[in-house]
Amino acid sequence: RYAEAVQELSICMVFAPAEEAEILLTFVEKLHLLRIESSWKLLEQSSTSPVP
């Protein structure tokens, strides 16, 4: 889903006027940050789970 969203936004950025492309870039950056945050949460969960 992440890759698809970034790809769709990237395609939109190609055809958008410069001002709109800058706005779309903000969404791409937000997606990157959300992905990093999600990865951190997964790492935290795996590091706090008990080892069998």
Alpha helices in 1-52 (DSSP H): 2-15, 18-48
Q: How many CB atoms lie within 10 A of CB 28?
A: 15
Q: Band of the pLDDT at 50, cuts 50, 70, 90?
A: low
Structure tokens at 1: 């889903």
Q: Is residue 52 part of a domain?
A: no
Is the pLDDT assigned to residue 45 strictly greater than 60?
Answer: yes
* Full residue range of the structural domain in which residue 24 is found: 2-47
> Which residues, at least 6 apart from 2, have a Cβ–Cβ distance to it below 8 Å?
31, 35
Average of per-residue pLDDT values in the chain: 87
Q: Is residue 36 part of a domain?
A: yes
Cα 38 to Cα 36: distance, rounded to the nearest angstrom: 5
Predicted TM-score (pTM) of this structure = 0.65
Cα 46 to Cα 33: distance, rounded to the nearest angstrom: 20
Total domains in the fold of the chain: 1
Q: Is residue 7 part of a domain?
A: yes
